[in-house]
Each structure stands twice: as structure tokens, then as C-alpha cells.
Chains A and B, each alone.
Chain A
């Protein structure tokens, strides 16, 4: 089983839709969690950190469920510009940030 897993998609949604991605992790000792956005083979860029209490940044909401060992990303009112690959990343007690394989989102007009 991979340490961090994501549904690769693609998720094809119309503009204005709400879409949610999940990411599961296997190490219960994982300490911090992040969502990154990656455009077409460019470098990943941090979208948001994921806190235990959940956090929101505009149309984006991230949640953490430690009991079930997953994090989620909710995007409301999808825009064409949201089309990208979304990577979750998990940092364990060690020094390595482990990434999921990414979920591809395509927002259509």
C-alpha cells in the first residue's frame, strides 16, 4: 500500500460546480499535511496547509480526519483556472515530505 494515495481522476466538472478530493495516508504518526497545485508539468506550488480544525481560503476548504487518516480539499464555484493537478503531501516525524500521485481536475465551460 502506498504511503499517500489519491484518486488520479480526471475529475471533469462544469464551471461553478463544487468538487471534493480525498487523500489517504497510512502513517498514523503523520504530523502535518498540505495541498499543492501543479499546472501542466510545472513545479508544484503550495495551495494550503491543512490544520486539525480545518481551514478555509476563499473558495477552498481543507479538512483533516485523523481517525480515518485522510485529508480532503473542497473547491466551491469552480473556475476554468482551477484546472490543474492537486497533490496532497504528508510530513511524518522524520524529515521527508511524501506526496500522493495527484488528482487531475478539468473544469469545463
Chain B
């Protein structure tokens, strides 16, 4: 089944404790991205990657890191999480980076930073 998977789905952590949210897609998509969704602010892009070893900042990259060592995986790293990073996070992928490409989302990761 074609899908985007994320782990963990739910995470409670404390300020400053490094964490990684994994994202994997099995559709051989070139383009992957991370969003966060907050009430009243909608979906905002954190980082995106157009291919292996190619990443770029989205609208809200501060406090986050990403890597794209393999085509299928695009982990999101919070080196020192803070309470303002409490949010619902979505990973997404699409076949290429052309403007007509359909984007597919993972199921989301709910993060609470205490």
C-alpha cells in the first residue's frame, strides 16, 4: 500500500530533550516536506527536500533540523525542544517538485513539550 508513515504518533517530552520524528514513504517520491499545524495558524511548512542531500527551509524552520540521506526517509530533529514547539506535525511527499504534483500526507505526530 502506498503510504507515508510517521513515528511516533504521540510524544510527550520535556524542554531541552532532543527528539527525532521519523518519516518514511514507499512511493519513490523525490519531494518530501514537514509541516506543523496550530489552531488559527493553519499548516506551515518547516523544511522541504527536493531529493537526497537537498534540503531547504520553509516558513518556520527555527528550532528544527532535517536530513535526507535516503530517498524514502526524511526525519525531523528537534535538538532542544521548547514548549512553543508543541504542535501537530505532518510529513508529506509528492512525486516530484513540479507545481502540479499531488501531495500525500502522513498520519501526523502530536507533540507536547513540557
Contact = CB atoms under 8 A, between A and B. Distances in A.
Contact of B45 (A8, A32, A96): A96
Looking at chain A, what size class is its interface with the partner chain? 20 to 34
Contact of A95 (B40, B97, B107): B97
Interface core residue of B33, B99, B107 (most chain A CB under 10 Å): B99
A92 B100 CA distance: 10
Interface residues of B, number: 26
A40 B50 CA distance: 30
Interface of B: 31, 33, 35, 40-45, 48, 50, 56, 58-59, 88, 90, 97, 99-100, 102-108
A87 B42 contact: yes
A43 B105 contact: yes
Interface of A: 8, 31-32, 34, 41-46, 49, 87, 89, 91-93, 95-102
Contacts of A8: 40
A5 to B, nearest CB: 10
A49 B102 contact: yes
Nearest to A2: B42
B99 A99 contact: no
